[in-house]
Chains A and B, each alone.
Chain A
Amino acid sequence: MVSFCPPRSSVFITEFNRMNLPLVILTPFIGAALTAWAARFGARRTAWVAGGMTLLALIILAPTLTAPFKGEVIIQRWSWIPQAGVDLAFRFDGLALLFTTMILGIGLLVILYARYYLSDDAQNPKPGMGRFYAYLLLFMGSMLGVVLSENLIVLLIFWEMTSLSSFLLISYSYQGKEARQGARMALTVTGLGGLALLGGFMLLGKMAGSYELSVILAQGDVIRADPLYTPMLVLILIGAFTKSAQFPFHFWLPRAMAAPTPVSAYLHSATLVKAGIFLLARLFPVLSGTPEWSWLVIGAGLSTLLIGAWFALFKHDLKGLLAYSTISHLGLITLLFGLATPLAAVAGLFHIINHATFKASLFMAAGIIDHECGTRDMRRINGLWKFMPYTATLAMVAAASMAGVPLFNGFLSKEMFFAETTDFFSDRPWGWMLPTLVALAGVLAVAYSLRFIHDVFFNGDPINLPKTPHEPPFWMKVPAEILVGICVLVGMFPAMTVAWPLKVAATSVLQAPPPRFDLAIWHGFNLPLLMSLIALFGGLLVYSARKPLFRQANRLEGVLDAGAYYDSIVRTVAGFATALTNALDRGSLQRLMVVFVVSVIAMGLAGALGSGSPLTGPRALLAADAVSVFIALALIVVTLATLILHHRRLTALVVVGALGLLVALIFVKFSAPDLALTQLSVEVVTIVLLLLALYFLPQRSPRESSRPRRIRDTVLALLAGGSAGALTWAMLTRPHESISSFFLENSVPGGGGTNVVNVILVDFRGYDTLGEISVLALAGLGIYAMLKDLELTGLARDARGRAWNWDAHPSIMAALTRLLLPLALLVSVFIFLRGHNQPGGGFIAGLITAVALIMQYLTNGVAWTHQRMSDNMHPLIGAGLLIATVTGLVSILLGYPFLTSTFTHIHWPVVGDFELASAMAFDLGVFLVVVGATLLILIHLGLMHDASHPDPKLQQEPR
């Protein structure tokens, strides 16, 4: 699945018919799992496994190693998420070569070093070694992924994984508070940077039309001219700067030194922190060369260079010194890339190599010292030369290289650096500033290197060391020896060692043939050499005058601490979040409703104002007749009265009853007598229901809302009501094709009835009705189940302390109501029978029957009624449902869809022509269910009262 990518840049891109690049990345990941497993066989074997896997990765990489030297770029590609334009594509060119060899080579040395550093003796290995090597290999794999990615998104994924795995490594000894805090800060800062990078990459991908580096690198001019160039640049730089600990994001690196020293040597000098710089180098042809780039990158690099060097001088912790010097050197490299000249880029690459070698060896030396002395405090470690001359020599060579002493590699790249800075601004009036500041940084660098050498290895005798130091085991020195050897070799014979790889790497950074550069030790007497000399002697001077400087630094401590700003930002955000929570999240339902209603009104308003169309539709308005106006006014008055009177519950109930009547009137006005009838009967049942409930409540409800709240609620209610009114207005003033004509036309031919409402109920929407009566039946049964055998004590006295009337069932009323019963039932039958053609129907008839029966309960008492009528309503409900369902099923038996109705006209002597519709049977079912369920509910609501079960004393009283 390797595909060929057409050459777009000046560099020849070749297809490589293997898949070794992903394997190189995958090997450490597999190794991570293996080491975690191998940990059970002891720390030493774990280390061998880890080392073996690293070697394996190198071997897998080997066949491709020569390709960049031939000017080839290897791209290996697998389809991954084609939908998002993301392929698993890997790229191997000069830059990748430089970094992969560094990652794997130094990785191997660090593993060797850690093997001796971390396990004190082989007999009782430390627990958790498997975890350590697994994390280390995880990191190695992620880092390889970063440098080998061809696709930006893939790069980003590995980028974030380096953040995660370095988090794991820093927090390796998570019992320590420092390690935890350092790890969290590192993850937060680099993780956030990674997200910013994601934003930047997305913009870059949009501009270039692809996430592939080979496409992007060829489009530098297009991208630099894009209006979104600046935001994109800023985002990508934030990503790079956080990773490479550039000012103002540098603060996490010193705190990350809580990690074990091999980790610091590997991550915080050679690899992880170089990822940001790698990114600058990778995207150099695309991003560099604009004023924005220069200002941002030079600014960050220069400040980092100076701040790092300054703090490094004053750290008493050995690793602290190295950490800040690392920051300073990273600033140096960043500054070089910021200059954006081809030669500066070459110098930057060169310094990446040099810094990796001398700083890793310095960290290893620091680790040895820590290991042997039990402390890293330079105020206590003195005069180690006597104890470990060999280690001291190694450390001193590396430190000299760091200071930029001739004959060591650091000198060469520093010379190039000085040369580039003097050239860069030479034509500007303030051009001397940059070389001056850079020279100052050089002075400081020499000073802290001197301090490292002199304080640790000379300067009297050690003070109060926990153990007596001596030379470490042989294999612990080997990695440092190799690195120092490289420092010296490169420093002495640059042209024979690094010139070629450097040229290859520069080619891929510049995407063009690199400029001629001369890696000689002696260039003649020129300005850069003068600066080097100034740095050396200035450094000596500063170091000799360090005592007053230290006092000064003590006074300034904490003033320029970016970590404190970080903490305060974190605190501010958390405080803001708490305040926001307290303001918005109170948990009060009323408040939630207010927010809801206001939002709804706001969105509705926004929608209304946003669209151009008018509120009033094109439909011609009808004239308002007197009756409608009267009803509307009455409705408003009654509603207001309900609002005002709602504290007096009984009165309010009466008014609500009036409201129901008015609504019934409206139905009459709009020629819907059927609905009016239904409304009336429902109204009666509802009032009975409410009365039954009112029995348990005090006569007056208390006033609970304060005045401001009531005002707020009034305003809200007016707004919401007004909006609903406006909506209705908008709706009604527009032409609208109603479906009612369909029913009017089809009622007689289809359903055989002239009462459209009833035909709809039993025929057109027969299914719905069947469903509804089922629900009604269920509701009745449910309420029955809940209320059965429940008795509650109501209030015995009213608000003024008067007892209820003992005469629960006045005789006159009882007698009259008994008389009414047959009449009511007759009406009910009448209404039921005419239902299909005239206003009426099973539902209304059922309600009327139910109301008539309920009246008997109310006036005669439960006991009296139950002597005459069964209190078991279940058969009634069951029968109703059964009849309704059977009606439907019969039509299926006859070959029609469920609930199809039919009708016929029968001539009945005496009575006359008589229509019989199958729907009537269905209506009977409806009738029975309504009667049964309504009674069931109301009876049991009533039985709940103790008034329904008067105590014997009350019953015996004379009537």
Chain B
Amino acid sequence: MHFDAANLIPILPEITLLITASLVLMVDLYLKEHEKGLNHTLTLIGIAIAIVLTGAVGGGEPQVFFDGNLIRDDISDLLKGAILIVSLLAFVYVRAWLQDRGMLVGEFYVLGLFAILGMLIMVSANSFLPLYLGLELQALSLYALVAFDRDSKKGAEAAMKYFVLGALGSGMLLYGVSMIYGATGSIEFAPVAQAVAEQGMSNKVLVFGIAFLVIGIGFKFGAVPFHMWVPDIYEGAPTPSVLILGSAPKIAAFALAIRMLVDGLGSLHPDWHQMLVILAVLSMGLGNLVAIAQSNIKRMLAYSTISHVGFIFLGLLAGSEQGYASAMFYSIVYAVMAAGAFGILLILSREGFDAERLEDLKGLNDRDAWYAAMMALVMFSMAGVPPTVGFMAKLLVLEAVVRVDMVWLALVAVFFSIIGAFYYLRVVKFIYFDKPADDAPLLVTTGGVRVAMSINGLVLLALGVFPAALLTLCQDAFA
């Protein structure tokens, strides 16, 4: 086990994040109350550097390093970039909220950075072990973030639920990994794939292993019936935490699924495919139906997440390169949409007030027409209305499913997205057709937030009109 410094080059983005997190942790100790903004600045700079580095070390042939534990390939380049960019947006949005509540402390940023670091490790993993480590790093940071508002009873309850269920989910995943190891004698994806291809489904241990992996993946994605944590956590956790938890981790979860199911167990596609079909149909159905009945917008977005996860699964279960690419496209696009939606909720919140109910969006157009337009874009995109990118994402996924002859599944998906369109449009109705509450002030935001939100909203439109660039990247990753 010889150490080679060349191994460190491909993980420069991860190292940057680690350094940033440590730096913030230490600097924070010496900052006075009014100087805490430096944490924010440092974090943004760190993530920006990480984005640049991701671009700098990315590209070219896949590299496997650290004795086969980590990998850098087109998938990891793209997903890392997406995670970092979405996280950057998220961090821009959260500052005002934290500051208003006296919570602009280093811990939030450190936990957030560690969560992102965990995601990056998941993306770079080439064996079950680092994948799991990254997942846990992410999950533990997120548990703490959910409980970040220590005076909030709801937040504490949400964190408790998240932790208990999350531990169960991780446990299942680990259980599955251990069984895969038992059946194949390896934890690296390539040897596992080879061993699996040789023995197929004749090994019962392997069957159980896959079942548990799918359960774990379903849990991390929040797919029905492992979705139960999602609404409670979205509602109970402070909105900045939900923003971080609800956006980029979906991309990481996609990496989790791709690495495990495709890289590791690709040849068993006929077997995990069935389970994913069930999860996908249930998620789309329940997510869309229950979302209609929600009056809390965070809860509604939670169920909408669940339904979108169903769509991501559609792409995965197609089992074709096209399917994986479309699922990847969908995950990235979803993360951007979620960041926008929660970003608007943060913008709507002010000192002593959290935007949580659908009614809080009433008359947004009268309060700030530009943000109203951005939120409408996000909602249209989530509903899958052209020419926003949400439509493209749905189209590509459905295309992939139809191409593998699962027409009925595509029709089911279309049916449920019809139902889904309903509640997104209701939000648009609130924004444009209703009068704002009497005590609702005009929205005051910093220029940075405005720029970030504009980029966030307009990119949904731009990607919808010119989807080819991102799609090509996604497709090349699997070619």
Q: Which residues on A are within 8 Å of B, measured CB to CB? A: 79-85, 153, 156-157, 160-161, 164, 171, 174, 180, 184, 187-188, 191-192, 195-196, 198-199, 202-203, 205-206, 228, 231, 235, 573-574, 576-578, 580-581, 584-585, 587, 589, 592-593, 595-596, 599-600, 603-604, 606-608, 610-615, 617, 727, 730-731, 734, 736-737, 897-898
A585 to B230, CA, bound (A): 11
B204 and A608 contact, CB distance less than 8 A? yes
Question: Closest A-chain residue to B384, C-beta based?
Answer: A195
**Chain B contact residues, majority secondary structure:** helix
Q: A161-B387, A174-B432, A731-B179 are in contact. Are A600 and B172 (CB under 8 A)?
A: yes
Set A157, A584, A596: member contacting B226, Cβ < 8 A: A596
| Interface members, chain B 425-443 (any A CB < 8 Å) | 425, 429, 432-433
A610 and B207 contact, CB distance less than 8 A? yes
B225 and A191 contact, CB distance less than 8 A? no
B165 and A603 contact, CB distance less than 8 A? no
A599 and B225 contact, CB distance less than 8 A? yes
Set A82, A174, A587, A731: member contacting B468, Cβ < 8 A: A82
Set A84, A161, A206, A734: member contacting B386, Cβ < 8 A: A161
A153 to B419, CA, bound (A): 21
A599 and B226 contact, CB distance less than 8 A? yes
Question: Closest A-chain residue to B408, C-beta based?
Answer: A231
A184 to B421, CA, bound (A): 12
B228 and A195 contact, CB distance less than 8 A? no
Sort A-B residue pairs by CB-CB distance and give the 10 closest, nearest first.
A577-B293, A607-B211, A157-B386, A577-B292, A592-B228, A199-B414, A578-B293, A599-B225, A611-B207, A613-B204
A203 and B402 contact, CB distance less than 8 A? yes
Interface size, chain B (Cβ < 8 Å) = 75
Question: Closest A-chain residue to B210, C-beta based?
Answer: A607
B164 and A195 contact, CB distance less than 8 A? no
Set B3, B160, B165, B387: member contacting A897, Cβ < 8 A: B3
A64 to B398, CA, bound (A): 36
A191 and B286 contact, CB distance less than 8 A? no
A712 shortest CB reach to chain B, Å:
17
Contact with A along B276-315 (1 / 0, CB 8 A): 0000000000100111111000000000000000000000
Q: Which residues on B are within 8 Å of A, measured CB to CB? A: 1-3, 160-161, 164-165, 168, 172, 175, 179, 182-183, 185, 201-205, 207-208, 210-212, 214-215, 225-226, 228-229, 231-232, 271, 274-275, 286, 289-294, 322, 325, 380, 384-387, 391-392, 395-396, 398-399, 402-403, 407, 410-411, 414, 417-419, 421-422, 425, 429, 432-433, 467-468, 471-472, 475
Q: A577-B290, A581-B290, A604-B212 are in contact. Are A206 and B468 (CB under 8 A)?
A: no
A713 shortest CB reach to chain B, Å:
15
A611 and B228 contact, CB distance less than 8 A? no
> Which B residues touch A613, using CB under 8 A?
201-204, 207
Q: A80-B468, A191-B385, A599-B226 are in contact. Are A593 and B433 (CB under 8 A)?
A: no
A205 to B208, CA, bound (A): 39
A338 to B407, CA, bound (A): 27
A614 to B396, CA, bound (A): 40
Question: Closest B-chain residue to A734, C-beta based?
Answer: B205
A769 shortest CB reach to chain B, Å:
15
B2 and A195 contact, CB distance less than 8 A? no
B3 and A573 contact, CB distance less than 8 A? no
B225 and A580 contact, CB distance less than 8 A? no
A155 shortest CB reach to chain B, Å:
11
Question: Closest A-chain residue to B172, C-beta based?
Answer: A600
Set B204, B275, B467: member contacting A730, Cβ < 8 A: B204
Set A79, A584, A595, A898: member contacting B3, Cβ < 8 A: A898
12 sample A-B contacts, Cβ–Cβ < 8 Å, listed by A number: A81-B468, A83-B468, A83-B471, A156-B386, A184-B429, A191-B421, A577-B290, A577-B293, A581-B290, A587-B232, A592-B165, A592-B229
A602 to B1, CA, bound (A): 43
B293 and A581 contact, CB distance less than 8 A? yes
> Which A residues touch B386, using CB under 8 A?
156-157, 160-161
B227 shortest CB reach to chain A, Å:
9
Set B211, B212, B429, B467: member contacting A180, Cβ < 8 A: B429
Set A84, A603, A737: member contacting B275, Cβ < 8 A: A603
B410 and A199 contact, CB distance less than 8 A? yes
A79 to B468, CA, bound (A): 9
> Which B residues touch A600, using CB under 8 A?
172, 212, 215
> Which A residues touch B414, using CB under 8 A?
195-196, 198-199
B182 and A83 contact, CB distance less than 8 A? no
A610 to B214, CA, bound (A): 15
A124 shortest CB reach to chain B, Å:
23
> Which B residues touch A580, using CB under 8 A?
286, 289-290, 293
B421 and A576 contact, CB distance less than 8 A? no
Q: A174-B433, A585-B290, A607-B208 are in contact. Are A202 and B201 (CB under 8 A)?
A: no
Q: A577-B293, A589-B161, A589-B164 are in contact. Are A171 and B468 (CB under 8 A)?
A: no
A730 to B419, CA, bound (A): 44
> Which B residues touch A611, using CB under 8 A?
201, 204, 207, 271
Q: A164-B385, A613-B207 are in contact. Are A184 and B214 (CB under 8 A)?
A: no
Known: A596-B226, A599-B226. 4 other contacts (CB 8 A): A192-B421, A195-B417, A580-B286, A580-B289
A613 to B201, CA, bound (A): 8
A581 to B429, CA, bound (A): 23
Question: Closest B-chain residue to A727, C-beta based?
Answer: B208
A135 shortest CB reach to chain B, Å:
13
Q: A192-B418, A611-B201 are in contact. Are A573 and B229 (CB under 8 A)?
A: no
B211 and A606 contact, CB distance less than 8 A? yes
A610 to B210, CA, bound (A): 12
A595 to B286, CA, bound (A): 14
B69 shortest CB reach to chain A, Å:
13
B403 and A206 contact, CB distance less than 8 A? yes
A581 to B294, CA, bound (A): 8
A199 and B411 contact, CB distance less than 8 A? yes
A612 to B207, CA, bound (A): 10
A16 to B271, CA, bound (A): 51
A611 to B203, CA, bound (A): 9
> Which B residues touch A608, using CB under 8 A?
204, 207-208
> Which B residues touch A80, using CB under 8 A?
468
A156 to B385, CA, bound (A): 10
B402 and A206 contact, CB distance less than 8 A? yes
A83 and B475 contact, CB distance less than 8 A? yes
A737 and B185 contact, CB distance less than 8 A? yes
A145 shortest CB reach to chain B, Å:
10
A737 to B225, CA, bound (A): 36
> Which A residues touch B384, using CB under 8 A?
195
A604 and B402 contact, CB distance less than 8 A? no
A596 to B226, CA, bound (A): 6
A203 to B401, CA, bound (A): 11
Question: Closest B-chain residue to A598, C-beta based?
Answer: B225
A736 to B2, CA, bound (A): 28
A188 and B2 contact, CB distance less than 8 A? no
> Which B residues touch A578, using CB under 8 A?
293
Question: Closest A-chain residue to B181, C-beta based?
Answer: A736
Question: Closest A-chain residue to B214, C-beta based?
Answer: A603
Q: A196-B414, A203-B407, A592-B165 are in contact. Are A574 and B182 (CB under 8 A)?
A: no
Most buried by B among A85, A196, A611, A730: A611
> Which A residues touch B165, using CB under 8 A?
589, 592-593, 596
Question: Closest B-chain residue to A611, C-beta based?
Answer: B207
> Which A residues touch B402, using CB under 8 A?
202-203, 205-206
A613 to B203, CA, bound (A): 6
B310 shortest CB reach to chain A, Å:
15
B334 shortest CB reach to chain A, Å:
18
B228 and A596 contact, CB distance less than 8 A? yes
A905 to B268, CA, bound (A): 54
> Which B residues touch A81, using CB under 8 A?
392, 467-468, 471
Most buried by A among B165, B179, B290, B432: B290
B418 shortest CB reach to chain A, Å:
5
A592 shortest CB reach to chain B, Å:
4
